[in-house]
Amino acid sequence: MPLPGPTPPGINVFEGKPDARQSDAVNHPVSRFRPTYRALTDEEKALHDALKTKAAELEALFLQVKPGRYASLAMTSLEQSVMWIVKELTS
């Protein structure tokens, strides 16, 4: 069922259609600040999903350790490593 009113930004991304922020070209030039994103190949999409899946598995393991400063630092490091590797993959 469609949402009432104007289409929210990014709604088409979930339908597989690029919106104004996403190019449909794999070789789209990428800026450091990413005003637009290039399309990913099927292999890159699969790698992206695998990275996120493994990160979620690590997160679940990390949450089994008692809470504390070091656990928080570890979780932050995990978040940062996933952010940077995905940024590299999508650049």
The residues spanned by each domain of the chain are 1-39, 41-91
pLDDT at 54: 97
Alpha helices in 1-91 (DSSP H): 42-62, 69-90
Residue with the larger pLDDT of the pair 38 and 42: 42
**How far is the C-alpha of 59 from the C-alpha of 54, rounded, in Å?**
9
**How far is the C-alpha of 65 from the C-alpha of 40, rounded, in Å?**
36
- Tokens 């259609």, located at residue: 17
pLDDT digits (tens, 9 = 90+) for 76-86: 999 999 999 99
- The percent of residues above 90 in pLDDT, for the chain, comes to 54
pLDDT digits (tens, 9 = 90+) for 17-32: 767 777 777 788 777 7
Residue 43 has pLDDT above 90, yes or no: yes
Residue 71 has pLDDT above 60, yes or no: yes
Q: Which residues of 29-50 are buried (b: 16+ CB within 10 A; e: fewer)?
A: eeeeeeeebbeeeeeeeeeeee
